Chain A
Amino acid sequence: MNDLPAAGAGAGRGLWSDARQRLQADRVALGAAGLVVLIGLAALLGPALSPYAYDSLDWGHLAVAPQLAASHWLGTDRLGRDLFVRSLHGLRISLLISLLASAVSVVIGVTWGSVAGYAGGRTDEWMMRFVDVLYSLPYLFIVIILTTLFERGSLAVLFVAIGAVGWLTMARIVRAQTLSLKRREFIEAARALGVGTPAIIARHILPNLVGTVAVYATLTIPQMIIFESFLSFLGLGVQEPLASLGSLINDGAQEMQSAPWMLLVPASLLVTLLICCNLLGDGLRDALDPRDR
């Protein structure tokens, strides 16, 4: 799939340049994209700008309220840990896990959907029946069962668990697209030339799915952010002294009465991030798939 953008550019007014033009006209989506980039950079670089570490305790400043002039300008928690650093560090973990989980779900979903769609018949039926059964179970239950499977607190396991159940919608969308693609002439031509099935899927089916997959993947990321934060909120995800936005919100909710900033700082960060991701995803969908509107 690496040669795709190049192929698009070579075609002149291909899918990608069209999409870019439409996206550039969409000010809401551009603004949201800018904010997402900013938030990403803050997560990446922010903690390094502060003299404090995410787990360093400051016994002189326990549960201090935010003060712009003070050294802890967003305040501290009950153990004197700097909330600015902790929130950005938590944001970094939330983003990392949700990006990896999205990647896992894209890989599984695209593979599963394209194989089922292209194979058709019995294989397709069984593969999609499996998806239906998983679909009928609430997402939450599958993830909770999966988290009982693993040691708690290991991040790798957390994203595998989330990603492994996040692929279902992707598989359905990809299968539907593959079904309509495989009857097209160029696939028939490839088959007539003697190209093998794996090669047809990899070289001819998958590249044509990129637009759809890209749109759905950007809408998956905020869902994964919610899911990771939610598991951490319940205490099933990231464990102390590490934090993610979810566990910070949970801590904040406990201390709401005496230290409301502990809730407000991570909550507003998460809210901003989620709204921007959704607006960006909607914008991308409009840009890449104008038929939808």
Chain B
Amino acid sequence: MLSYAARRIAGILVTLFIIVTASFFVVRLAPGGPFDQEQALPAGIRANLDRLYGLDRPVGAQYLRYLRGLAHGDLGPSFKQRDYSVRQLIGQGLPLSVTLGLAAVVLAVLVGIPLGVAAARWRNTALDYGVTGFAVLGIALPSFVTGPLFALVFGLYLRWLPVAGWEAGAPRYLILPVLTLALPVVAYVARLTRASLLEVLRANYVRTARARGLGELRVLWRHALRPALLPVVSYLGPATAFVVTGSLVIETVFGLPGTGRYLVQGAIDRDYTLVMGMVTVYGALLLILNLVADLIYGWLDPRVRHE
């Protein structure tokens, strides 16, 4: 298990290095730079700016300098947000983005699994059709559509919740964003739970348990549920990745001050270091989350042991 984790971590470092290198050169190849404006800067000022940010040196030297900074946890200065380093910008937004993502995953597990179990238990009833239909909708609709629609219904018409925006320490601003973000994951978890529980309920040992006269609830709870949840656990890795990047979208939709706006704004402004920093931080985060999901899976399922 330990050597498995060590090997995976080495793999993560290699992948991260490739990601950083590839995105560095792709971003530098882009035509136009961070200091291009409608009105061209005087040549002298332009040269000074380029020198200040190291843009006057050859790309290879810039790359080495970037790597050296990265090794010390320095993501460089932002080109467009004056006086801020990329690390400061991302550090400011990350807690909110991560809270959003975690809340959505927890909600997905707490709501999705019971929905799936209920649909499988009362198969081919109105309840089952309701859950299945909800799952189709939830999976098909992107959050940039459901988000504004939720804001319209719950914010503007019903006036239950704020339409958008953020006040520190006021959780009601997070309710609609979390619901929007969680919706596709809830739908997918419900569908997955339903399908795999139906499969398990056909197994011989479940029949045996019923033949021994165990009550339906006990069969479901003690015998069927645990093996049925394994596919759900293995989906949680990709789900977390989905939710972490999805939160970037949700923040744009609801105007939350997370890290999401930096990725988009950075791309629009050609703020090289900001885009690079986002890709690096999120790349690392996703790779680590995937590793954690794999380790949990191996721990839950005795048939999968990481050698």
Which A positions have Cβ atoms within 8 angstroms of B?
Answer: 133, 136-138, 140-141, 144-152, 222, 226, 229-230, 233-236, 246, 249-250, 252-253, 256-257, 260, 263-264, 267, 270-271, 274-275, 278-279
Contacts and interface: CB of A to CB of B under 8 A. Distances in A.
B156 A257 contact: yes
8 contacts: A136-B15, A138-B286, A144-B263, A150-B30, A222-B140, A253-B253, A267-B148, A278-B136
Contacts, number: 108
A277 to B, nearest CB: 8
A37 B287 CA distance: 41
- Please indicate which of the listed interface residues B15, B152, B156, B267 has the most CB atoms of chain A within 10 Å of its own CB: B267
Contact of B144 (A138, A149, A246, A279): A246
Given A271-B141, A278-B136, A137 B267 contact: no
Contacts of A226: 142
A221 B17 CA distance: 32
Interface of B (DSSP majority class): helix
Given A137-B19, A138-B241, A151-B31, A260 B145 contact: no
A256 B164 CA distance: 12
A267 B140 contact: no
A253 B282 contact: no
Contact of A275 (B136, B252, B267, B268): B136
B264 A236 contact: yes
Contacts of B136: 275, 278-279
Given A138-B245, A144-B275, A152-B268, 6 more contacts: A136-B290, A148-B27, A150-B30, A257-B156, A263-B148, A271-B141
Given A230-B249, A235-B268, A136 B287 contact: yes
A274 B141 contact: yes
A140 B148 CA distance: 20
A230 B142 contact: yes
Interface of B: 15, 18-19, 23, 26-27, 29-31, 136-137, 139-142, 144-145, 147-149, 151-152, 156, 163, 241, 245, 248-249, 252-253, 263-264, 267-268, 270, 275, 278-279, 282-283, 286-287, 290
B286 A274 contact: no
B30 A148 contact: yes
B244 to A, nearest CB: 8
A275 B140 contact: yes
A145 B27 contact: yes
Contacts of B145: 249, 267, 270-271
A235 B15 contact: no
B245 A144 contact: no
Contacts of B144: 229-230, 233, 246, 249-250
A75 B228 CA distance: 50
Contacts of B137: 275
Nearest to A267: B145
Nearest to B147: A253
B161 to A, nearest CB: 14
A271 B148 CA distance: 13
Contact of A145 (B15, B26, B151, B268): B26
A19 to B, nearest CB: 22
A151 B19 CA distance: 23
A158 B140 CA distance: 22
Contacts of A141: 23, 245, 263, 278-279, 282-283
A136 B286 contact: yes
B149 A234 contact: no
Contacts of A145: 23, 26-27, 267, 275, 279
A230 B145 CA distance: 9
Contacts of A252: 148
A76 B224 CA distance: 56
A225 B111 CA distance: 29
A182 B264 CA distance: 45
Contact of A148 (B139, B142, B267, B290): B267
Contacts of B241: 138
Given A249-B148, A270-B145, A278 B23 contact: no
A266 to B, nearest CB: 9
Contacts of A264: 152
Contacts of A149: 26-27, 29-31
A229 B142 CA distance: 10
Contacts of A267: 145, 148-149
Which of A144, A230, A252, A278 counts the most B-chain CB atoms under 10 A from its CB? A144
Contact of A234 (B31, B151, B152, B264): B264
**Residue among A149, A222, A246, A264 with max Cβ neighbours from chain B (10 Å):** A149
